[in-house]
């Protein structure tokens, strides 16, 4: 179990860092590379170096650290998130995350809860997926954490879907993508159906270019989640999955984050290109964090 925890955290960061330079860019599927690169000087992430991750991994690590310390609460999470935002340390944050931090800092509520369906919420799911065995507890904790910044049902559905995707893989369950889709639909029927459409299109053998024209790649969960699930279903090679995810355009950092987390949980870090694992920012920190989570929770809710 410790190996899965480590691989999920590191895998998410690898996917995020691969997608980071191409965030907001158009698809570049004819020119994919499987190595870390630096954004252009005009890119919002221009200050980041190859192998560095974005706000998705930062949020995952905030929650995971609080859980490992045994002091997680929505208030503590909100405080730490707002502290990083105020210090300018969140890397190109999701607009909803930024608005929620401003809302909380202005004293308008403990939880910002912006009614938005952007995908900045999905990173909250991973730490809970690693420690919660009871599915009811998992759903409740993910929705509560997501609610700090997002109040839209589709945002909650996306976080729940990612949580159940990773949890199902961890527990060796069959058809984790289907399980994740069903759990998403319980929170938001539209998102659940869009994920179902993505999985159906993949099963039909539609090309990625055609799938992109149907599914989209923008920052909303209605496009980020279905496209991520399509890629996970299509590509069984970790190197190919992560390379394609980093070049599908649009919300590539979050798409890469989801695909990387899944690849880590499902295939293990030994399936990743070793150069990526060794070069990703914070690898040692995440290895220590995984051990601390394992020691504290050991799969106990």
Task: Express each pLDDT in 262-292 by its tens digit.
Answer: 999 999 999 999 999 999 999 999 999 999 9
**Residue 292, both tokens:** 């601390």
Higher pLDDT, 301 or 191: 191
User: Rounded to 5 degrees, what are φ and ψ at 262?
Assistant: -60, -45
On the question of pLDDT at 10 being above 70, the answer is yes
**Residue 22, both tokens:** 């191409």
**Residue 226, both tokens:** 């279905």
Fold of 2-27+44-297: ADP-ribosylglycohydrolase fold (1.10.4080)
Q: What is the mean pLDDT of residues 91-102?
A: 94
Selection from 69, 153, 167, 79 nearest residue 113 by Cα: 153
On the question of pLDDT at 208 being above 70, the answer is yes
CB 205 within 8 A of CB 20: no
The separation between CA 178 and the C-alpha centre of its own chain, rounded to angstroms, equals 18
Q: What is the mean pLDDT of residues 160-170?
A: 98
Among all chains, which residue has been given the structure tokens 């369950």?
A: 173
On the question of pLDDT at 2 being above 60, the answer is yes
On the question of pLDDT at 83 being above 60, the answer is yes
Q: Check residue 30 and give its pLDDT.
A: 87
pLDDT band at 109 (very low <50, low <70, confident <90, very high): low
Query: How far apart are alpha carbons 208 and 186 in whole angstroms?
Result: 28
CB atoms within 10 A of CB 76: 14
Selection from 48, 62, 54 nearest residue 19 by Cα: 54
Query: How far apart are alpha carbons 178 and 210 in whole angstroms?
Result: 22
| Domain spans in the chain, listed from the N-terminal domain onward | 2-27+44-297
On the question of pLDDT at 108 being above 90, the answer is no
On the question of pLDDT at 1 being above 90, the answer is no
Mean of pLDDT over the chain: 95
Q: Check residue 34 and give its pLDDT.
A: 85
Query: How far apart are alpha carbons 218 and 201 in whole angstroms?
Result: 18
pLDDT band at 107 (very low <50, low <70, confident <90, very high): confident
């Amino acid at each position: 179990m410790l190996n899965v925890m480590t691989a999920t955290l590191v895998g998410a960061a690898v996917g995020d860092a691969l997608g980071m330079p191409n965030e907001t860019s158009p698809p570049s599927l004819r020119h994919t590379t499987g190595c870390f690169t630096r954004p252009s000087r005009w890119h919002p992430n221009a200050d980041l170096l190859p192998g560095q991750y974005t706000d998705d991994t930062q949020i995952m690590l905030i929650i995971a650290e609080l859980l490992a310390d045994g002091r997680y609460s929505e208030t503590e999470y909100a405080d730490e998130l707002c502290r990083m935002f105020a210090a300018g340390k969140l890397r190109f944050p999701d607009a909803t995350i930024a608005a929620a931090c401003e809302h909380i800092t202005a004293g308008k509520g403990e939880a910002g809860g912006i009614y938005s369906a952007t995908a900045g919420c999905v990173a909250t799911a991973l730490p809970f997926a690693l420690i919660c065995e009871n599915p009811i507890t998992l759903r409740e904790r993910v929705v509560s954490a997501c609610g700090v910044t997002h109040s839209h049902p589709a945002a909650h559905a996306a976080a729940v879907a990612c949580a159940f995707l990773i949890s199902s893989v961890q527990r060796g369950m069959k058809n984790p993508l289907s399980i994740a889709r069903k759990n998403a639909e319980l929170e938001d029927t539209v998102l659940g159906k869009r994920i179902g459409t993505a999985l159906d299109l993949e099963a039909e053998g539609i090309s990625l270019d055609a799938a992109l024209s149907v599914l989209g790649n923008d920052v909303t969960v209605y496009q980020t989640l279905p496209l991520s699930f399509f890629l996970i279903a299509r590509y069984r090679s970790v190197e190919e999955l992560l390379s394609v995810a980093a070049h599908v355009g649009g919300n590539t950092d979050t798409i890469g984050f989801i695909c990387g987390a899944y690849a880590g949980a499902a295939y293990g870090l030994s399936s990743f290109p070793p150069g990526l694992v060794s070069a990703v920012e914070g690898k040692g920190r995440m290895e220590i964090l995984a051990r601390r989570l394992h020691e504290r929770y050991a799969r106990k809710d």
